[in-house]
């Protein structure tokens, strides 16, 4: 009898084991991959257009007048990506500034919410009482108060803290070092330098632009300027943060970033391989004699193109990818470090040359490529093949930026 009980128990246990293997995994012994994976239908980021994969020849242009071959012609391939259809505007960048300002206020007021694991985070639903005495340190005080206005926030306190993972360094390390070695922590002051309008031009009256350009509603849809390369990079990090936080159903493993130089040129050409300008033609005017971009015509007839300084970010006609002002208005930061002979060692697939210079590095290491020309440049700089640079820690009244977001998978547009 005892043997029968043991046999029945063993048989029952074996049956449960077989049952768990067959029904628990629901694989029936077949290789079908992990089940219950999230579905992915792609995304459509607001204010961005999709630039499909393709190829272009870089390097061939009028910039190398002495035929020094610093811009050696090279055929490269670019994988598809999303790009902002306009430069980042004052009002869009102001959202970043306000978010940093409000986060500091919430921390000072201890407006926290706690999850089930005891982790604290800012409770963004709580309104901010800007007259609370706990926020007194956020305002200018004493001799810094101007014209009796005690309600001005001290913009030097508006710092954004974020992490950056150095993927190329981690790849070169081949797993020999701990992960934290490649996590860089950065602190960036986010408020744009509004005084660039005065500093950039000697013996020129531009103080009204310095006082109003970033704040007055009439300039809301104009491109943000006075932004350093580091501030533009911080903006991209913040934009990734709020995208993933508030749209978890469209969580994207890649983040927003500045475009690489080759991506920018590819997008600017609008699908036309030999286009010297984003509109595809060989001149700066259309058949009616109208200028096609915002720049410095002739010997300095700034208002002839319709804008004495910058114009709205969606002014003029877009190129064939739907991108506005890829020539003129403001030059644009790219992710790429500047080197005169970069084309000689660029890879032909998604060219990428990065160097994150520190404050102790030589000035030549801090150069970042800017593209597109600006409202104060002559027409030559509007060409899609012309390269130029600015120091990454400099802010200018004629340099702005736009973001890109890598595309995951493939689109039918790529075929």
| Domain CATH for 203 | 3.90.1580.10
Q: CA separation (Å) from 364 to 275, 387, 391? A: 31, 16, 8
Residue 358 lies inside a defined structural domain of this protein = yes
Residue 151 lies inside a defined structural domain of this protein = no
Residue 384 lies inside a defined structural domain of this protein = yes
Residue whose tokens read 């029904």: 23
Q: Are 166 and 240 in contact (CB under 8 A)?
A: no
Residue 310 lies inside a defined structural domain of this protein = yes
pLDDT at 335: 97
Q: How far apart are CA 236 and CA 383, in angstroms?
A: 26
The pLDDT of residue 30 is above 90: no
pLDDT at 26: 63
For the chain, how many structural domains are there in total? 1
Residue 407 lies inside a defined structural domain of this protein = yes
Query: How many C-beta neighbours within 10 Å does residue 333 have?
Result: 26
The pLDDT of residue 136 is above 70: yes
Q: Give 54's pLDDT tier (boundaries 50, 70, 90).
A: very high
Burial-class residue 325 by CB neighbours within 10 Å (0-12, 13-18, 19+): buried
The pLDDT of residue 66 is above 70: no
Residue 341 lies inside a defined structural domain of this protein = yes
For residue 337, the enclosing domain spans 49-89+190-414
User: 3-state SS of 34-73?
Assistant: CCCCCCCCCCCCCCEEEECCEEEEECCCCCCCCCCCCCCC
Residue 145 lies inside a defined structural domain of this protein = no
Percentage of the chain surpassing pLDDT 90? 67
The pLDDT of residue 409 is above 90: no
pLDDT at 284: 93
Residue 281 lies inside a defined structural domain of this protein = yes
With vertex at residue 278, the alpha carbon angle to CA 329 and CA 281, rounded to the nearest 5 degrees, is: 120
Reported as type and span, the H/E element at residue 96 is helix 90-108
Residue 15 dihedral angles phi and psi, to the nearest 5°: -65, -40
Q: How far is CA 63 from the centre of its chain?
A: 27
């Amino acid at each position: 009898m005892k043997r029968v009980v043991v046999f029945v128990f063993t048989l029952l246990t074996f049956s449960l084991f077989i049952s768990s293997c067959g029904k628990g995994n629901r694989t029936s012994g077949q290789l079908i991959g992990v089940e219950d994976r999230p579905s992915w239908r792609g995304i459509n980021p607001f204010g961005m257009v999709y630039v499909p994969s393709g190829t272009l020849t870089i390097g061939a242009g009028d910039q190398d007048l002495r035929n020094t071959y610093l811009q050696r012609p090279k055929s490269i391939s670019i994988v598809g990506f999303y790009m902002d259809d306009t430069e980042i505007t004052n009002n869009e960048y102001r959202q970043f500034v306000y978010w940093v300002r409000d986060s500091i206020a919430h921390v000072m007021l201890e407006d926290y919410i706690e999850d089930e694991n005891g982790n604290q985070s800012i409770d963004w639903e709580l309104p901010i009482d800007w007259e609370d005495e706990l926020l007194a340190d956020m305002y200018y005080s004493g001799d810094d108060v101007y014209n009796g206005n005690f309600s001005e926030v001290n913009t030097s306190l508006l710092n954004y803290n974020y992490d950056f993972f150095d993927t190329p360094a981690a790849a070169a390390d081949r797993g020999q070092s701990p992960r934290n070695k490649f996590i860089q922590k950065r602190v960036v002051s986010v408020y744009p330098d509004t005084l660039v309008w005065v500093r950039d031009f000697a013996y020129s009256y531009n103080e009204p632009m310095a006082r109003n350009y970033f704040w007055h509603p009439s300039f809301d849809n104009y491109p943000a300027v006075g932004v350093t390369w580091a501030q533009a990079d911080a903006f991209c990090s913040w934009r990734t943060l709020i995208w993933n936080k508030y749209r978890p159903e469209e969580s994207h493993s890649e983040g927003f970033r500045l475009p690489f130089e080759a991506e920018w040129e590819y997008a600017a050409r609008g699908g036309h391989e030999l286009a010297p300008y984003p509109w595809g033609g060989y001149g700066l005017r259309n058949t009616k004699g109208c200028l096609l971009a915002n720049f410095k015509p002739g010997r300095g007839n700034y208002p002839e193109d319709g804008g004495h300084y910058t114009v709205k970010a969606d002014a003029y006609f877009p190129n064939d990818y739907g991108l506005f002002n890829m020539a003129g208005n403001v030059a644009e930061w790219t992710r790429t470090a500047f080197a005169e002979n970069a084309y000689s060692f660029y890879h032909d697939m998604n060219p990428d040359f990065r160097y994150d210079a520190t404050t102790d590095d030589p000035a030549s290491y801090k150069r970042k490529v800017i593209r597109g020309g600006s409202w104060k440049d002559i027409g030559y700089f509007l060409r899609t093949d012309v390269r130029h640079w600015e120091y990454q820690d400099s802010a200018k009244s004629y340099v702005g930026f736009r973001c890109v977001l890598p595309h995951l998978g493939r689109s039918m547009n790529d075929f």
